[in-house]
Structure 1
Amino acid sequence: MRRSTVGAVLAFTSALVLTGAVVPAGAVTGPFAGYADQQLTWEPCPFTPAEDAKPAECALVTVPRDWAAPETGRNLQVSISRVAATGEHLGSLLVNPGGPSAQGTSLPGSLAAAQPTLHEGYDLIGMDPRGTGQEGGFAPETCEVPVDRLSQRTDLDARDRSADSIAEHVKQPRAVAEACQSEALAPFLTTWQTAHDMELIRHLLGESTLNYIGYSYGTWLGAKYASLFPDSAGKMVLDSGTDFQGRLQAAFEDWPRINQRLFEDSFLPWMTRQFPDEVGSTVEEAAANWERGREFFATMGTSPNSYDMMFTGMGSQLRWILGAAVFVQAVGGADGEDPATALADSELAPALDELSRSRFGVQLAELTPDVVARALADDPEDYQQVPATRYAVACGDQVTRSESWYRRLSDRQGPQYPLNGWAYGLSEPCSFWSDEPRQELPELPEEVADRVLVVQGELDPQTGYEQARSAVRAAPGVSMVSVDDSPFHGQYAFDGNPCVDGMVNVFLVNNSRPGNATCPGTPLPGETEVHPVPGPVRTAAVQPMRAAEAELPELLASVQAMISDVNAPRR
């Protein structure tokens, strides 16, 4: 049944491409036939665009709830956006920020502002994938998790391996899995279904092929779209990627290792350069003071788990600055001191002040360890609603592993990667997911490989470099741009890296895909040079490391933070 469905879709897709022209809607057959005669009605978008972003227009697309049985007549609506090309039309390019569960209709406006050369040639298309609602409009699908099913403790520490501690930890993932599996729409919130939505959107846009940029989970979605519809896939940029030839869940399971690497090899050394008087001038001193801060916040009502989570998923410059503020406050609290002066005297002070106001509700001069502790304190009510798409996709795309497997993973990873290793295996809802996948997701076929460019940061703490490299090695013909020493999640367009932006733009605009290459990373916040870190990238960068020309523009920084945050795990 599953193979015949995929075969019918592939046959339909092949029939669409006739000397580069799209077959009229009346000639469409197969699962798309009943939906291909829609007219896109472009109207003002319901969301408020970011400052400096280009204006977008939005439309709603009707899709079947189940592409495997569209004849049932049960439908959903998917919101899409468009920022039209300003010059000669090269095609449509759909952009996805990942998640899974992230809305993407506001992203084209930011991308158009950040990359005017790309905007000149392409209609930039955004999408709020099925189940994510409409950005600024109707609400996303959520799973209602009964609060009484969750742990009421606010002092959880995954390093505590007692039976009681483990039992309390697994309450949340079990409750989330059971709540999300009980949602009637959950079986239809999958990559397979969303890829079919994309194929319908391609047809409604009148394009023979659909070009694509996907970040994080968006690399998985893009690769699977190209695998299901190889004749429809245009140029594909997969940025900060999963192992799209392997298991999606492997990207999450690698979090403890890659976050420990970033924390020890890049973040702690950076802290010793930025705040030596507060956290120590050596990595060893900083690590010891971080532990003291962890103990201090525990006495203030912030669970050790919450403290640890502040230093994982640090894939954006804003997350680094937030981590610095929490770290300095923690050590100051442990020492009985007010660290506000040290933060105010830092070169990061303007960014720290803005972050303090938005994250903690006070100006930097009023930020104290007490304020930070209260903001980080656990509140079980926070877990009452969770995004259905996040777990339906992450756990429903492929067969999951058992609770006992994940508990053994926690036992193995904890001693090696204590920052997140103890906690991750006890917090994964997929370990309680019992539903079997309804469709198979094929691997990337050989004929698509020369249209795919992978971009990956060496120290990315959210999708590890090794995951992307594994996918490229398993897909001969795909090329990869590595970004040496970069700890950021999302490289193209929003990291201010001219080497990366140049290579991607040459591919998308000039039709010249680079071979395997290495770009230098950009300096960390508050620094003007890149400090090399040993890692898996072995080849030299194509140009020397550069000094920072200016602070990352606010628009770029905010989008980079959004991409990082929407692809972070939820505690």
Structure 2
Amino acid sequence: MRRSTVAVVPMIVTTLVLAVTTVPVNASTDPFARYAGQELSWGTCAFTPEPGALPARCALMTVPRDWAAPDAGRDMVVSVSRVAASGEHSGSLLINPGGPGVQGTSLPGALAAVQPQLHESYALIGMDPRGTGQEGGTAPERLPETCEVPLDRLSQRTDLDARDRSAGSIAEHLKAPRATAEACQSEALAPFLTTWQTAHDVELVRILLGESTLDYLGYSYGTWLGAKYASLFPRGAGKVVLDSSTDFQGRLQAAFEAWPQINQRMFEGSFLPWMTRQFPAEVGATTGEAAANWERARRFFAGAGTSPDLYDAIFTGMGSPTRWVLGALVFVLGVRGANGEASATLTGSGLAAQLDVRSRAEFGVPLEALTPAAVARALADDPADYRLVPATRYAVACGDQPTRSAAWYKRLSDRQGPRYPLFGWQYGLNEPCAFWSDAPRQELPVLPAEVAGRVLVVQGELDPQTGYEQARSAVRAAPGVSLVSVADSPFHGQYAFEGNPCVDGVVNVFLLRNSRPGNVTCPGIPLPNETEVHPVPGPVRTAPAAAVTAAQPPLPALRESVRAKISDGNTPLR
């Protein structure tokens, strides 16, 4: 089971940006002039389409290393994909899956398959953002930019537990974020792997496609990128859908800092009650019993060599059903281990098929052969996994906006730990941005009023990766933007791949009929293997009831795969 202690820092998406140092582009020159004459030569993509996805064509686009100084430095290459409209072409829609740093060229083929109405009218466009390489590429020049963190700079302990507030424990925790920040800042390209630069790449895509405006669909960090693209290029941006949104009018780091709160809310209010309904014999029939058994499982894995920090991270950022099933598997096996039992024996569960898929994917054995000891061995920390971290993830998260100090984050950990113990103790001790010393090079503006009427935000109430309050704050700070709230939904990424007819209908009417709603609430859909929605107290006050009469089967594999990709690009456990 591949992971990284460095990656225990949330792979979230967030929004905002306050700049310190602005490097203006010379107003007398057009930075796009040198690059606008190139032709996109569409050919075979490097990636293999997933079963069910429609085929896409790909091209390589040349961009400057630095849009603030296009004539300085070597050029870069960015991969772009396209699925042409099946009917009359009405425009191009660029899709970004988030991250920061998730590759997006395979997404248009998947979206075209699950939303044929959209595919009929739109050319669907994907892009692997600068620094992320070329999706499916294996040659060195096609691989993502990474930061190599020296192993001797990292803690060699395999028992890290952020609940331990001793000076020694805190010092060990701070090793990874410090080494990560220093390694990534030493990369020559890091200053140019930012949202400001990528937004200019998006504008070049529009120019090369010959579109007067470019419509946009962004998930997770893609909401931050989309909002900043529309802010920097309001005349080029068309209709903009921001799904699972950051506070694009506020601070980027605020979304990261909200993870302890929003994950505790989802864990206690939605996940633990679901576990009591699905596995009452294993975890207990009440939320209190489940919480106590979760702690017992934590102690079992700690005694078997699994870092408590890693155990906690498994239940943090669970933004997709795939992650819920993994969490359920680890939870139940941990309880069985604590009870002295040796096997899973969950074949009678309605989730047995999904549990078996996760068991094979994460632990390499079928569910019937999985044991608590095998899970513990697979979860045990392996320092060899820590060497490489994604450069784009940290260059964006820490380079887009001014950062706070390590002392500030330590105080945040002290405050959040007692209130949100699932991730509150850990987050403030694992933030590389606390050690990021380079000031932002450009200023990212907030959304101008002229664009607000073309922006639609979609947000799940219990999203554990980009919190509802972040989206609501952005909408309130941008009069004219509309918000679609999805009541009781704990998942990350709502449109197209969630299977929610209300959300899909609202977004499609906006994109295809140019009719944007006001602020509306859609009902959530039942959780895996359930027949009804169980309301959870949260920031969405009212919600219509969902009419469901049978257990919801798993969505087609293509949808599940894309949902997992959107969520996993922004999660602590990689």
Same fold per TM (> 0.5)? yes
Say whether residues 1:166 and 2:170 are aligned partners: yes
Say whether residues 1:227 and 2:231 are aligned partners: yes
- Could you tell me how far 1:301 is from its partner in structure 2? 0.5
- Could you tell me how far 1:74 is from its partner in structure 2? 1.7
Structure-to-structure mapping, 1:515-554, within 5 angstroms = 515-541=518-544, 544-547=546-549, 548=551, 550-554=553-557
Say whether residues 1:202 and 2:206 are aligned partners: yes
2:423 corresponds, among 409, 420, 423, to 420
Counterpart CA distance in 2 for 1:82 and 1:252 is 32
Structure 2 residue aligned with 1:325: 329
Report Cα offsets for 1:305-326 as digits up to 9, x if no partner: 1110110110001111111000
CA contact (8 A) 2:54 2:113 kept: yes
User: Quick one: which amino acid aligns to residue 518 of structure 1?
Assistant: T
Say whether residues 1:246 and 2:250 are aligned partners: yes
1:298 corresponds, among 297, 302, 312, to 302
Report Cα offsets for 1:23-72 as digits up to 9, x if no partner: xxxxxx51001000001000010101111000001000000000000011
Say whether residues 1:256 and 2:275 are aligned partners: no
- Could you tell me how far 1:551 is from its partner in structure 2? 2.4
Structure 1 residue aligned with 2:279: 275
User: Quick one: which amino acid aligns to residue 106 of structure 2?
Assistant: S
CA contact (8 A) 1:530 1:545 kept: no
Say whether residues 1:125 and 2:125 are aligned partners: yes
Relative distance call for 1:4 and 1:418 in structure 2 (3 A) is closer
Structure-to-structure mapping, 1:56-455, within 5 angstroms = 56-137=56-137, 138-341=142-345, 343-455=346-458
- Could you tell me how far 1:453 is from its partner in structure 2? 0.2
- Could you tell me how far 1:477 is from its partner in structure 2? 0.1
User: Quick one: which amino acid aligns to residue 161 of structure 2?
Assistant: D
Counterpart CA distance in 2 for 1:54 and 1:558 is 15
Structure 2 residue aligned with 1:486: 489
- Could you tell me how far 1:539 is from its partner in structure 2? 3.1
CA contact (8 A) 1:495 1:556 kept: yes
Counterpart CA distance in 2 for 1:408 and 1:382 is 29
CA contact (8 A) 1:340 1:367 kept: yes
Relative distance call for 1:410 and 1:549 in structure 2 (3 A) is closer
User: Quick one: which amino acid aligns to residue 275 of structure 1?
Assistant: F
- Could you tell me how far 1:97 is from its partner in structure 2? 0.4
Report Cα offsets for 1:181-239 as digits up to 9, x if no partner: 00000000000000000011100000010100000000000000000000011000000
Structure 2 residue aligned with 1:506: 509
Normalised to the residue count of structure 2, the TM-score between the two structures is 0.94
Counterpart CA distance in 2 for 1:311 and 1:555 is 24
- Could you tell me how far 1:248 is from its partner in structure 2? 1.2
CA contact (8 A) 1:521 1:545 kept: no
Report the secondary structure of 2:61's partner residue: strand
Counterpart CA distance in 1 for 2:347 and 2:312 is 24
Q: Which sits farther off after the overlay, 473-482 or 64-73?
A: 64-73
- Could you tell me how far 1:421 is from its partner in structure 2? 0.4
- Could you tell me how far 1:6 is from its partner in structure 2? 6.0
- Could you tell me how far 1:116 is from its partner in structure 2? 0.5
Q: Which sits farther off after the overlay, 522-531 or 427-436?
A: 522-531
CA contact (8 A) 1:520 1:545 kept: no
- After TM superposition, the runs of 4+ consecutive aligned structure 1 residues lying more than 6 A away are 1-4
- Could you tell me how far 1:141 is from its partner in structure 2? 0.4
- Could you tell me how far 1:554 is from its partner in structure 2? 1.1
- Could you tell me how far 1:553 is from its partner in structure 2? 1.4
Counterpart CA distance in 1 for 2:220 and 2:356 is 29
Structure 1 residue aligned with 2:24: 5
Report the secondary structure of 1:409's partner residue: helix
Structure 2 residue aligned with 1:26: none
- Could you tell me how far 1:340 is from its partner in structure 2? 1.7
User: Quick one: which amino acid aligns to residue 546 of structure 1?
Assistant: V
Counterpart CA distance in 2 for 1:549 and 1:117 is 24
Tell me: higher relative CO, structure 1 or 2? Use CA pairs within 8 A at least 6 residues apart.
2
Structure 2 residue aligned with 1:18: none
Report the secondary structure of 1:32's partner residue: coil
Give the RMSD, CA atoms, in angstroms: 1.4
Structure 2 residue aligned with 1:566: 569
User: Quick one: which amino acid aligns to residue 123 of structure 1?
Assistant: A
- Could you tell me how far 1:381 is from its partner in structure 2? 1.5
Relative distance call for 1:90 and 1:6 in structure 2 (3 A) is farther
Structure 2 residue aligned with 1:20: none
Counterpart CA distance in 2 for 1:230 and 1:565 is 31
Question: In the comparison of the two structures, how many residue pairs are matched?
Answer: 550
CA contact (8 A) 2:529 2:552 kept: no
CA contact (8 A) 1:353 1:363 kept: yes
Relative distance call for 1:230 and 1:3 in structure 2 (3 A) is farther
Counterpart CA distance in 2 for 1:48 and 1:235 is 30
Counterpart CA distance in 1 for 2:367 and 2:536 is 31
Structure-to-structure mapping, 1:16-27, within 5 angstroms = none
1:477 corresponds, among 475, 480, 495, to 480
Counterpart CA distance in 2 for 1:458 and 1:329 is 29
User: Quick one: which amino acid aligns to residue 484 of structure 1?
Assistant: A
Counterpart CA distance in 1 for 2:521 and 2:78 is 37
Relative distance call for 1:295 and 1:407 in structure 2 (3 A) is same
CA contact (8 A) 1:256 1:420 kept: yes
Gaps of 5+ in 1: 12-28
Report the secondary structure of 1:70's partner residue: coil
Normalised to the residue count of structure 1, the TM-score between the two structures is 0.95
Report the secondary structure of 2:453's partner residue: helix
- Could you tell me how far 1:569 is from its partner in structure 2? 3.2
Report Cα offsets for 1:401-428 as digits up to 9, x if no partner: 0000000000000000000000000000
- Could you tell me how far 1:338 is from its partner in structure 2? 3.4
Report the secondary structure of 2:389's partner residue: strand
Relative distance call for 1:544 and 1:369 in structure 2 (3 A) is closer
